[in-house]
């Protein structure tokens, strides 16, 4: 923050009091007085972070570890953002516990386990989720204290290029100044025109995490990861779920087509219905049932779907409301994303942007990587994120995970490629677990054997994809993986055998 060299009147009067008058009022004395006056208004921090979600809190902790004086501003009242509060963490709690419930109901007889009357206590299920969330958000707050990060609860907006005005949650205002500023305000659910969200009947993923009773029927608008995960939760608990997707496949365009078809087949067998290449025209919420009008995406016969609850899951959009970006002239693109360069800088170099409110996949782990890199740019002048090695996971059962390029992308690039795959039905650990749906698929460059993409559908896919991510990060070949010993019996042996089938042949299939 640029400071005026003019001595404030009050400070000047104090400086020239009898018996305290210096023989010469030096420039350094003037600077000290000016600085003291400025500090009473807003102490300047090395770094001010707007947003305490995954991107913001990781940046705050990393910066503090690097010796910077850091302030993090978050209006939610709890740290962790969407991910910890109403996203990744609570959804996984419900996915895990609903899977256990479903497994007890349908998958114990062949295991030699006889159960009696199984009941679901929805309130306790939600309480278990909330306990996990509270523990983790409090844990982040503890890390702030441990690393001396100042945490301000309130809504931030730019007063100037270096000053942030905060409307405090507890009342009142405060101004914080920063030599450097990071915007990490995240994203929000994209609304669907004509369907007004009330989080009771027309819901987003936030409402899907907090329904007070099990609906008889649910229509999920959007067949991406969020829609399929939350649809799976309620399907397991007894809801009749129908997924309406505009595209011709589920899982979004990033998912490998072969894997997408396999996932749809398994989820269909679990009771979820799909209407692909279908668009929603509108809805009527006036009756006991919501009536949703749909038709084929390319035009055709219209149809009306009835549902107790409609989950709108058509994606997320950057959240920058109330920041006052217009005051400092920051640019956003046509999708509302803040425009940055390769070092996360806006047109004002001391202001950087990371996470969901700028470019790239809206994933918590991507935001974490950007947080560390952005702080390193500030502190050291260099940082790095390999966007070609960012994994994605869908936590249905079986899980779906991938990293790198899918087959349709490799084919479009014109690169000659090979595919190696191995089914979990031939994996000894999967067979002993009676959990054999799915396969591992590895795509390699036909000339160099370098791994271009890894795609897994099956048990433990979300954990196993770490090996694929590491392989792509280090430029490994399929032979590198195939000649690496994997413990027996483990699910990861399917990964090794898929790699072997790329450059030679799998042993057990």
Q: Which of 242, 247, 299, 221 is nearest to 408 (CA)?
A: 247
Q: What would the DSSP string read from start to end of 39-102?
A: HTT-PEEEEEEE--BHHHHHHHHHHHHTT--EEEEESSSSSBHHHHHHSHHHHHHHHHHHHHHH
Is 295 assigned a ligand-binding role in the annotation?
no
* Helix, strand, or coil (residue 238): coil
Q: What would the DSSP string read from start to end of 477-499?
A: BHHHHHTS---SS-TTHHHHHHH
Told to judge if 162 belongs to the known catalytic residues of this protein, a careful annotator would answer: no
Report whether 301 contacts 295 (CB < 8 A).
Answer: yes
Q: Which helix (H) or strand (E) holds 268?
A: helix 257-269
Is 186 assigned a ligand-binding role in the annotation?
yes
Is 163 assigned a ligand-binding role in the annotation?
no
Is 182 assigned a ligand-binding role in the annotation?
no
Q: Which of 401, 373, 434, 336 is nearest to 55 (CA)?
A: 373
Report whether 438 contacts 265 (CB < 8 A).
Answer: no
Q: Which of 99, 106, 162, 488 is catalytic?
A: 488
Report whether 220 contacts 246 (CB < 8 A).
Answer: no
Is 92 assigned a ligand-binding role in the annotation?
yes
Is 363 assigned a ligand-binding role in the annotation?
yes
Report whether 283 contacts 293 (CB < 8 A).
Answer: yes
Is 226 assigned a ligand-binding role in the annotation?
yes
Report whether 387 contacts 360 (CB < 8 A).
Answer: yes
Is 114 assigned a ligand-binding role in the annotation?
no
The per-residue b/e assignment along 229-253, b for 16 or more CB within 10 angstroms, e otherwise, is bbbbbbbbbebbbbbbbebebbbbe
Query: What are the φ and ψ backbone dihedral angles of 106, each rounded to 5 degrees?
Result: -120, -5
Is 245 assigned a ligand-binding role in the annotation?
yes
Is 187 assigned a ligand-binding role in the annotation?
yes
Is 283 assigned a ligand-binding role in the annotation?
no
Is 223 assigned a ligand-binding role in the annotation?
yes
CA distance 73 to 200: 30
Is 185 assigned a ligand-binding role in the annotation?
yes
What token pair was written down for 407?
A: 């087959």
Report whether 491 contacts 464 (CB < 8 A).
Answer: yes
Distance of CA 62 to the CA centre of its chain: 19
Bind-site residues: 92, 185-187, 222-229, 245, 315, 356, 362-365
Bind-site residues for FAD: 92, 185-187, 356, 362-365
Catalytic residues: 488
Bind-site residues for NAD(+): 222-229, 245, 315
């Amino acid at each position: 923050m640029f400071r005026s060299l003019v001595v404030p009147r009050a400070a000047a009067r104090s400086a020239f009091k009898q018996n305290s008058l210096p023989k010469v009022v030096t420039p350094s004395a003037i600077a000290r007085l000016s600085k003291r006056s400025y500090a009473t208004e807003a102490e300047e921090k090395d770094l001010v972070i707007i947003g305490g979600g995954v991107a913001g809190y990781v940046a705050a902790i990393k910066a503090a570890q690097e010796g910077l004086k850091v302030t993090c501003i978050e209006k939610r009242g709890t740290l962790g953002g969407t991910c910890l509060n109403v996203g990744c963490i609570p959804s996984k709690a419900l996915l895990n516990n609903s899977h256990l419930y479903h497994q007890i109901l349908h998958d114990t007889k062949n295991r030699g386990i006889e159960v009696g009357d199984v009941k679901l206590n929805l309130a306790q299920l939600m309480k278990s989720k909330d306990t996990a969330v509270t523990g983790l958000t409090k844990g982040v707050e503890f890390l702030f204290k441990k690393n001396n990060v100042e945490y301000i609860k309130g809504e931030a907006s730019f007063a100037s290029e270096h000053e942030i005005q905060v409307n405090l949650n507890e009342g009142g205002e405060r101004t914080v100044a920063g030599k450097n500023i990071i915007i990490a305000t995240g994203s929000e659910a994209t609304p669907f025109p004509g369907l007004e969200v009330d989080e009771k009947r027309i819901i987003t993923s936030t409402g899907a995490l907090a329904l007070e009773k099990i609906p008889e029927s649910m229509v999920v608008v959007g067949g991406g990861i969020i829609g399929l995960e939350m649809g799976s939760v309620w399907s397991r608990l007894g809801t009749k779920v129908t997924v309406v997707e505009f595209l011709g496949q589920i899982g979004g365009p990033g998912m490998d087509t072969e894997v997408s078809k396999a996932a749809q087949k398994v989820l269909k067998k679990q009771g979820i219905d799909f209407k692909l290449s279908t668009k929603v025209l509108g809805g009527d919420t006036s009756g006991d049932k919501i009536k949703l009008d749909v038709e084929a995406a390319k035009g055709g016969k219209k149809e009306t779907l009835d549902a107790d609850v409609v989950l709108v899951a058509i994606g997320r959009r950057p959240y920058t409301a109330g920041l006052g970006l217009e005051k400092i002239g920051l640019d956003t693109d046509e999708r509302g994303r803040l425009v940055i360069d390769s070092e996360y800088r806006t047109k004002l170099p001391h202001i950087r942007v990371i996470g969901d409110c700028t470019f790239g996949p809206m994933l918590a782990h991507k935001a974490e990587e950007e947080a560390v890199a952005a702080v390193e740019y500030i502190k050291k002048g260099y940082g790095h994120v390999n966007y070609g090695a960012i994994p994605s996971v869908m936590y249905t059962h079986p899980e779906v995970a991938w990293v790198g390029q899918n087959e349709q992308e490799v084919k479009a690039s014109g690169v000659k490629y090979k595919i190696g795959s191995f089914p979990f039905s031939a994996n000894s650990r999967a067979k002993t677990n009676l959990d054999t749906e799915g396969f591992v698929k590895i795509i390699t460059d036909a000339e160099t054997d370098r791994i271009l993409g890894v795609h897994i559908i099956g048990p433990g896919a979300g954990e196993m994809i770490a090996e694929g991510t590491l392989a792509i990060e280090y430029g490994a070949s399929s032979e590198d993986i195939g000649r690496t010993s994997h413990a027996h019996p483990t699910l990861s042996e399917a990964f090794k055998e898929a790699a072997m089938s790329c450059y030679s042949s799998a042993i057990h299939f």
